Amino acid sequence: MAKLIFLGTKGDIEEENTHHRYHSSIIIEEDDFRLLIDYGRKHPLELGEIKADAILITHAHPDHYIWLEQDIKTLIPTYLTEKTVNYGKYKPINCKIIQNNQIFQIGPLEIIPYPVLHSLRCPTVGFKIKTLEKFCLVYNPDVVDIVEKDKILTGVNLFIGDGSSWKINLVRRRDSQFFGHTRITTQLNWCKRFKIKDSIFTHLGKELLEKEREFSKQFSEVKLAYDGMEIWI
Ligand SMILES: [Zn+2]
Ligand SMILES: [Zn+2]
């Protein structure tokens, strides 16, 4: 079995509370291998303490990508798109360039990066990840839409999504392009459509920090992640 550890669970907001203090970031641990996804400005542990074997980066916003602002030196292989690496002020030393829809294997995990709509300036990917036991999850902490939902959301056991908003609209439009964050309820509709049984939302925004209890009462089958939450998959 593999273990998920939510190191941080809030979005790029000033507000915080004891359960949501750090920017969204997750560790997937299987067979002594530790994969870290995203590492932003507010983190509970330094990279040396996390002891990750590899790092994946979704996009170059400061709540996901420390190298935008800080020259952190590490030899841990860091997987990111060419656009992300070229956007930051600094770069990880051991960059591994990834491309949308190109499968790769790191340790025991099979990874497919795929395009999601979220930012006009910082192209974003989500990750579809399969464990040794063929458990399949997707990780989209920041998302307006998944470009190829049919291909990506088929065969998924666990959807980890963007908790920036429940009822308020955080989707913006410039010319014909959309950016921002879609509602949790829209993402739950995707889960229904693709028969994904389990969902966890991270990257909580101001609305969810204020209405966490109310949300959980209404959606008792949906988990809201909190800093330090661990689950076995
Ligand atoms: Zn974010
Ligand atoms: Zn973002």
| Percent of the chain clearing pLDDT 90 (strictly above) | 99
The radius of gyration of the chain's CA atoms, rounded to the nearest angstrom, is 16
Is there a contact between 5 and 26 (Cβ–Cβ < 8 Å)? yes
Average pLDDT estimate for 56-85? 97
Between the CA of 25 and the centroid of ligand 1 the distance, in Å, is 10
In whole angstroms, what is the distance from residue 41 CA to residue 45 CA?
Answer: 11
Q: Does pLDDT of 173 surpass 90?
A: yes
Nearest alpha-carbon partner for 125 in 110, 109, 142: 142
How far apart are the C-alpha atoms of 48 and 218, rounded to whole Å? 40
Please report, as a single letter, which amino acid is at residue 133. Answer: E
Number of folded domains that form the chain: 1
- At 88, is the pLDDT very low, low, confident or very high (cuts 50, 70, 90)? confident
Tell me, what's the pLDDT at 175?
92
Task: Please report, for the domain that includes residue 22, its CATH number.
Answer: 3.60.15.10
Which band of pLDDT confidence, cut at 50, 70 and 90, is reported for residue 50?
Answer: very high
Q: What is the reported pLDDT for 216?
A: 98
C-alpha dist (Å) from residue 13 to 41, 62, 117, 130, 145: 12, 11, 20, 31, 21
pTM of the model: 0.98
* Segment 89-100 mean pLDDT: 97
pLDDT band at 46 (very low <50, low <70, confident <90, very high): very high
Distance 96 CA to ligand 2 centre (A): 21
Report pLDDT digits (tens) over 100-140.
999 999 999 999 999 999 999 999 999 999 999 999 999 99
Maximal CA-CA distance, the chain: 47
Q: What is the distance in A from the centroid of ligand 2 to the CA of 187?
A: 17
Q: Of the bound ligands, which one is closest to the alpha carbon of residue 117?
A: 2
> What domain range is 194 assigned to?
3-232
Residue 133 Cα to ligand 2 midpoint, Å, equals 31
| Ligand 2 centre distance from Cα of residue 61 (Å) | 5
Q: What is the C-alpha to C-alpha distance for residues 142 and 117, in angstroms, rounded to an integer?
A: 9
Which residues of the chain form beta strands (DSSP E)?
3-8, 25-30, 33-37, 54-56, 78-80, 95-97, 104-106, 109-117, 124-130, 136-139, 145-146, 158-162, 170-174, 177-181, 198-202, 223-224, 230-232
Q: How far is the CA of 31 from the centre of ligand 2 (A)?
A: 30
Identify the nearest ligand to the CA of 40 by its number: 1
Centre of ligand 1 from the C-alpha of residue 11, in Å: 5
How many angstroms is it from 81 CA to the middle of ligand 2?
A: 15
Q: Kindly identify the ligand whose nearest atom is closest to the C-alpha of 180.
A: 2
Question: How remote is the CA of residue 60 from the centroid of ligand 1, in Å?
Answer: 9
Q: What residues flank ion ligand 2 with Cβ within 5 A?
A: 61, 142
Ligand 1 centroid, distance to 20 Cα (angstroms):
13
What is the rounded CA–CA span in Å between residue 66 and residue 128?
A: 22
- What span, in angstroms and rounded, lies between the C-alpha atoms of 37 and 85? 15
Å from CA of 116 to ligand 2 middle? 11
CA of 180 to the centre of ligand 2 (A): 8
